[in-house]
Amino acid sequence: MAIKPVKGPYILSLDRTNWQFAGINYNILCLTVVADKVILPLLWTMLDKRGNSSQDERKVLIMRHIRLFGLDSIECLIADREFIGQEWIEFLSTQPMKFYIRIRENLIVHQRGQKLKAFWLFNNLPLNQVRNLDKPLKINKQWVYLAAMKVLDSKNEVEYIIVSTYQFDYQTMQIYAQRWTIECFFKAVKSAGFNIEDTHLTDQKRLEKLFAVVCIAFLWVYMVGQYQNQIKKIPVLKHNRRAFSIFRYGLDELNRALLFDFQLVTKYSQLLTYT
């Protein structure tokens, strides 16, 4: 399935969501667009298995995007530690495609003939500061640049966020940080609005159709929120953060229209014709 919600070139984010119900595994590999501090669904694949996607499954999804929208529609790809592998990185590099992919902190890297765990390169980095290495290192057979931060996790333990890219970029960590917006989409789909986890569907094809409907609904809510934000701006709090999200703004407004103003629903339905 595919939805084209905004104009390219796109910052793409690749991630996976899964849940279980009655012993059945629901596992969806999703390619999304980063837009206005939120994630919008673009392409997805139903994985008929548990666990991570394979390198081939990711490559097929990326090639679907290139076939539909062209390579020049991609500004860059963001992905988490799950989405690594020698063939996968080689594939992205040969497209060529800018990528910002987090690696495991204990992954072995090659520097000046030495084998080191990646976090050793940033061991003396102060907390919450960024370091960009300006010389490439080899991971397996692929040359990459690394950038990293050392932070405290939810258990107050030191964690390294190490991001690889095939070309040097001082903005690596800022670009990668946008990956977290995908949590808004998955949360909305699974619990904060659409509750797809409550489905009793077991057939993969039917679930894929349901997911498509939910993605369209998510897109509709987002566009209503955008429209309303043009009429009455969402208040901005300290640190330049909105009081609530575009998605929440649209969801509340659409709920109000569905309950009290059918003519307004018709007006909002027209927004979908612009996608």
Structural domains of the chain, ranges and CATH numbers in brackets: 10-184 (3.90.350.10), 200-274 (no CATH)
pLDDT of residue 1: 41
pLDDT of residue 3: 45
pLDDT of residue 274: 55
Residue 37, pLDDT above cutoff 80 = no
pLDDT of residue 210: 85
- Three-state SS annotation for the chain: CECCCCCCCEEEEEEEEEEEECCEEEEEEEEEEEECCEEEEEEEEECCCCCCCCHHHHHHHHHHHHHHHCHHHEEEEEECCCCCCHHHHHHHHHCCCCEEEEECCCCEEEECCEEEEHHHHHCCCCECCEEECCCCEEECCEEEEEEEEEEECCCCCEEEEEEEECCCCCCHHHHHHHHHHHHHHHHHHHCCCCCHHHCCCCCHHHHHHHHHHHHHHHHHHHHHHHHHHHHCCCCECHHHCECCCHHHHHHHHHHHHHHHCHHHHHHHHHHHHHC
d(CA 238, CA 182): 23
Residue 65 CA: distances (Å) to CA of 9, 52, 222, 257: 12, 20, 22, 35
Q: How confident is the model at residue 2 (pLDDT cuts 50, 70, 90)?
A: very low
What is the share, in percent, of the chain residues with pLDDT greater than 70? Answer: 93
d(CA 204, CA 209): 9
pLDDT of residue 21: 65
**Which pLDDT tens digit goes with each residue over 188-206?**
777 767 778 777 777 778 8
pLDDT of residue 189: 78
Residue 141 phi, psi dihedral angles, 5° rounding = -110, 10
Mean confidence (pLDDT) of the chain: 85
Q: Taking residues 11-35, what's their average pLDDT?
A: 82
Q: Taking residues 244-265, what's their average pLDDT?
A: 86
**Which pLDDT tens digit goes with each residue over 206-226?**
888 888 888 888 888 888 888
Residue 275, pLDDT above cutoff 60 = no
Residue 254, pLDDT above cutoff 60 = yes
**Which pLDDT tens digit goes with each residue over 64-103?**
999 998 999 999 999 998 888 888 888 888 888 899 999 9
Whole-model pTM: value is: 0.82
